[in-house]
Amino acid sequence: MARKSKLPPGLQLGRPAVLPASPEAARLDRVPNPHPDTHYVARFTMPEFTALCPITGQPDFAHFVIDYVPDKFLVESKSLKLYLNSFRNHGSFHEDCTVGIGKRLNQLLKPRWLRIGGYWYPRGGMPIDVFWQVGRLPKGVWAPDQGVAPYRGRG
């Protein structure tokens, strides 16, 4: 007997999908949190994020870590992957990418707490890391360190 899905209709999940042309064109989906009465941290890590420098058009690379304590909704992971990969051909500064992603997730999910760490690889010999947070971590919730070492060259 087939199990009936409790997911909202119209999700990108389980369907063929093409990479969105831009972050603005990307659709982020959310699904109901099966444990809205429980405080817990959900973490997404994207170690191969790419965007384009808006000045030179050259690729920029980052390692992103997104942590959040959900309330009523979770971000659907396939839509998040498509959204993050839509930056591949998008020109944007490090700060705009990192903070913009955090704000869009916050608007979609309205989580109890969210933080995003954008650990960017060096551009012009200097790494630019960007961190953004909204809300307060609920008391008693374990939010581990993001686990990304600060940039260190050969030294």
Six token digits for residue 81 = 């992957």
**53 belongs to the catalytic site:** yes
CB-CB neighbours of 72 under 10 Å: 12
**60 belongs to the catalytic site:** yes
Which residue is associated with the tokens 């965007």? 51
Annotated catalytic residue, options 29, 37, 60, 71: 60
Annotated catalytic residue, options 53, 71, 96, 129: 53
Helix (DSSP H) and strand (DSSP E) numbers for the chain: 2, 6
First to last CA, the chain: 60
Give yes or no for a contact between 117 and 146, defined as CB atoms under 8 angstroms apart: yes
Q: Residues, the chain, total?
A: 155
**Residue 121: which of 91, 96, 94 has the closest Cα?**
94
Query: Catalytic residues, which ones?
Result: 53, 60
